[in-house]
Structure 1
Amino acid sequence: MPLGEHLRELRNRLAIAVGVIVVITCGAMFFAKDIMNVLTAPLPACPRGAPPEELDGPCASLTMDGLTSPFITYIKVSLFTGLVIASPVWLYQMWAFVAPGLHQHEKKYTRAVVAFGVPLFLTGCWFAYWLLPRAIVVLLGFTPEGAENLVTVENILDTIVRMAIAFGFAFELPLVLVLLNLGGVVSGQRMLGWWRGMVLGIAIFSAAVTPTDPVSMIALAIPVTALYFVAVGISLLNDRRRRRRDPDANLSDDEASDIDLTPSPIGVPDRTDPAPDPGGADGRRPGGWDDVT
């Protein structure tokens, strides 16, 4: 397709994805308060009126800062809910935009790979929600004695949303690597050679998107690193299967394949009797051509 057609298709795909997210977001606004209670549940709330010296373990008081903060928080919670619930739609739209440029066998593998995209994304979001209470306890443990922690609802929701989206997309790493391998872009052996840089990059990414405590960073880095090596293993198996079917599959475009120069026996040629010469008196064929021609 020309560039204009690609841009129009991209516009249509984005319109469908955004439309579904907006519809689900509008529906989630009716349940935003209940969703907010679920999202803020990991925060250990302090008993009302209890002095700090009588508290059993670290806790915090949940507050709202500003007159418009409740409304803005409702919008953020609804939008986050719409983004998560609509993930099958926008993931499919991403694939549908790329699929016309793939071969038929590549589409077959891509469908299988994309089918794992939504479960992995939702698993990453759930893992972030599971990890947050443990990270909060570690962070609140640095509170000095006699001090009271005041945490705004907007702050804790921003932390949850950031972690959930970061964890969800981080769990998509093996899909991207396997898809690149199935498309012939990168081999499993080359991905295996990247393991030092990938481990370091995953650790840096984990430190950037998680709260400032080592527990959260390690908890994210370990599963993502494991998923990376799982993707490498799948790619190596796929390369092995590809080599069995086509020994020259791993050759680059400017590399010549091995040629078998082993001589093979040639049988005795069959004897053929010469055809009678129907030439005329001038030595030419009836068609006017001589024997040499």
Structure 2
Amino acid sequence: MALTDHLREVRARLFRSALVLVAAFIAALFFYDQLLNVVAAPYRDAVSTLQGENSELVANGISAGLMLQLKLCGVAAIVVSAPYWLYQIWAFIVPGLHAHEKKWSRVVAAIAGPLFFAGVALGYYILPKGLSVLIAFVPDDVQNLVDFGAYFSFVTRMLLIFGVAMEIPFFVILLNLAGIVSGKALGRYRPWIVIGTFVFAAVATPSTDPFSMLMLAIPLLILFIIAEIVARLVDRSRGRGQNSTDQWSDDEASPI
């Protein structure tokens, strides 16, 4: 295709994606109360588990309610319409790929999406526990007024962190398939991967309690172990065992 044809295709796909996004946004406006309850539920659950804590969600400012509605419905529209606009991106790129690249792009789409949403679901599940720990730091004689807009941004960032974190081991497998990382190298640096996973979980989780950290770190470690097993199987099928620079010699012991 000529460059102008590519530009016309991009314009057409962007226009269709924008129409679907606007339609999803309008539909989200009719379900605003339900969306608001879904977002506020972790906070209410956290407050209900605490005794004597005076904490409330508030909207500060005349336009705060309108901005909150636009932001919440906008995020919901992006999430709901994601399958369509992601397909438009994929449909534009895939004609230029080779046959084996098309196959792997389907594998990436089939695995990366469910992993991301599994991470988001896990983050939503442990969010009340993390919020309860943070709210507990407020003194008993002090009323804690939390701006709903700031709270929504906090929830969005945390869920995004959990969703992206679940993708990391999958991309490790992709690096192995590309020949960049070997299974032997993953085994050699496994102790550092374990330490790095717990450090990442401690920084990424919304609270300082060990429960939230473990709920992120343990699934990540399991996925990393699966990634290492898959990488070793791929290396063996490709015959890297004899020629890989990461191969342990017969008298060299693994650090694990």
Superposed pair shares fold, TM > 0.5:
yes
2:220 is matched with: 224
**Aligned equivalents of 1:76 and 1:147: distance in 2?**
29
The one-letter amino acid of 1:24's match is A
Matched, 1:233 2:233: no
Question: What one-letter code is carried by the residue in structure 2 that aligns with 1:37?
Answer: N
Structure 1 residues 208 and 69, CA gap change in structure 2 (3 angstroms):
farther
- 2:171: which partner in 1? 176
Matches within 5 A, 1:89-108: 89-93=84-88, 95-96=90-91, 99=94, 102-108=97-103
Cα pair distance change 1:6/1:211, threshold 3 Å: farther
Shift of 1:7: 8.1
The equivalent residue for 1:43 is 43
In structure 1, stretches of 5+ residues that fail to align are 48-54, 253-293
CA distance in 2, matches of 1:225, 1:16: 40
1:69 paired with 2:64, answer yes
1:144-184 Cα shifts (integer Å, max 9, x gaps): 22222212211221121111112112111232222222333
Tell whether the 8 Å contact from 2:54 to 2:140 is kept in structure 1 after alignment. Answer: no
Tell me the secondary structure at the aligned position of residue 41 of structure 2.
coil
CA deviations 1:216-270 (Å, max 9, x no partner) are: 3332222223222222222222222222xx988x679xxxxxxxxxxxxxxxxxx
Give structure 2 stretches of 5+ with no counterpart.
Answer: 246-256
CA distance in 2, matches of 1:8, 1:77: 32
1:76-95 correspondence runs (5 A): 76-93=71-88, 95=90
Structure 1 residues 14 and 221: CA distance shift in structure 2, 3 A: farther
SS in 1 for 2:238: helix
Quick check: 1:73–1:154 contact (8 Å CA) kept in 2?
yes
Aligned residues of 1:91 and 1:118 also touching (Cα < 8 A): no
The equivalent position to 2:185 in structure 1, one of 190, 196, 204, is 190
Which structure exhibits the higher relative contact order, with contacts defined as CA atoms closer than 8 Å and separated by 6 or more residues? 2
Give the 3-state SS of the residue equivalent to 1:28 in structure 2: helix
CA distance in 2, matches of 1:206, 1:16: 39
Whether the 8 Å contact between 2:182 and 2:232 is mirrored in structure 1 is: yes
The answer on whether the counterparts of 1:64 and 1:153 sit within 8 Å (CA) in structure 2 is: yes
**SS of 1:61's equivalent?**
strand
Look up the SS of the partner of 1:116 in the other structure: helix
Over 3 Å counting, the alpha-carbon distance change for 1:247 and 1:231 in structure 2 is closer
Query: In the TM superposition, what is the alpha-carbon distance from 1:34 to its structure 2 partner?
Result: 1.7
Shift in alpha-carbon separation, 1:135–1:212, aligned structure 2, 3 A: closer
* 8 Å Cα contact 1:43/1:60 also seen in 2: no
- Residue of structure 2 in register with 1:51 after alignment: none
1:134 shift after superposition: 0.8
1:242 partnered with 2:238: yes
Query: Hey, what's the Cα distance between the residues in 1 that align with 2:4 and 2:175?
Result: 27
Q: How does 1:273-288 map to 2 (within 5 A)?
A: none
Corresponding pairs, count: 242
CA distance in 2 between counterparts of 1:18 and 1:199 reads: 42
RMSD: 3.5
* Deviation digits for residues 40-70 of structure 1 (CA, Å, limit 9, x no counterpart): 01223879xxxxxxx8353521211111111
Q: Percent identity?
A: 38
1:291 aligned residue: none
More helix by share: 2
Gap change, CA 1:32 and 1:9, over 3 Å in 2: same
Matches of 2:89 and 2:196, distance apart in 1: 25
Q: What SS does the aligned partner of 2:42 have? A: coil
Amino acid at match of 2:160: I
Residue in structure 2 matched with residue 28 of structure 1 by the alignment: 28
Counterparts of 1:128 and 1:224, CA distance in 2: 13
Shift in CA distance, 204/3, structure 1 to aligned 2, threshold 3 Å: farther
Look up the match of 2:147: 152
